Structure 1
């Protein structure tokens, strides 16, 4: 189940607000400049859909975001609990970092925990099937797929080269929750 927890950045054990309604999550995240919305497939997907099937099922929303935000590149990424390099991939995203472009993810299946550090607040956003999150360019954040990752996600990029991280050097990510799946 998707949820949002908002903390003061110095109090990782005491959320100031916990939100479980997706509509209320969208409102709270919008206040911080974060796009959060839900998408529905326009056609059923097979049990193990190809990238083409996934992109076709969500083409209307993908095209809308490309028009609105100018995204140039779209792909589908997946991670399963039996992936031999899952621990390496998990570790890659756990430290606070920024990107020079938006980080846009739509969860076709599974889940992931995006944590954003904005103006003294920490926003933990557990995204699940049907959730889109867009972390604006230059927003400090980290991502946890958990020790047993399971997700299929659509990614949209402004930069045809894709995802480039600039790590902040802060240890804040280690003080907040991890996704335990």
Structure 2
């Protein structure tokens, strides 16, 4: 279940508390399990996934994808698999770990591992949301945020896209606070 760190070092574990803090910018956090944990019990321990495994995982989430597609206007999805040996890990961290926006919504459904989303609220305060397995996060268009895998460098998620370009970051220059 997700955890939220505020600038005053308060930590929220309760979904309703987290939602209260992220709702002002339109972000949505949900927690549910469509069966991934039961059907793919070794998923958290696997660094590499075969293409057939990736297809099976995406097929399982297609029913979820249809619901999300209608709700969020998503056109397609893919599977993001990060681990310490990922060939594009440093590029991904460099690209997304600075404050940026996107011209389309961004959404993740976390299958395994964890990642951190930093968020700039309208009042200028900053938050850090630790996403974990079974968390779904929707970030609306133009919301200022950053993304990074946690220190474990293990993260598997279904990503949802509303345009063919994917998530092209538009950097804002906002400095990250020292949470």
Q: TM-score normalised by the shorter chain: which range applies? A: 0.7 to 0.9
Secondary structure of 1:142 counterpart: strand
Matches of 1:75 and 1:39, distance apart in 2 = 19
Alpha-carbon contact 1:116-1:142 (below 8 Å) kept: yes
Other-structure match for 1:89? 92
1:49-106 deviation per Cα after TM superposition (whole angstroms, max 9, x unaligned): 6222212222222111101121101111110122244233212211110101111111
Unaligned stretches of 5+ residues in structure 2: 44-48
TM-score, length-scaled by structure 2 = 0.83
Matches of 1:65 and 1:134, distance apart in 2 = 10
Greater strand share, 1 or 2?
1
What's the CA shift for 1:147? Answer: 4.9
Other-structure match for 2:102? 99
Greater helix share, 1 or 2?
2
Matches of 1:99 and 1:27, distance apart in 2 = 23
Q: Which runs of 4+ in 1 moved over 6 A?
A: none
Matches of 1:153 and 1:167, distance apart in 2 = 23
Other-structure match for 1:114? 117
Change over 3 Å in CA distance of 1:60–1:85 after alignment to 2: closer
What's the CA shift for 1:145? Answer: 1.0
RMSD: 2.0
Unaligned stretches of 5+ residues in structure 1: 8-13
Secondary structure of 2:127 counterpart: strand
Aligned residues between the structures: 168
TM-score, length-scaled by structure 1 = 0.82
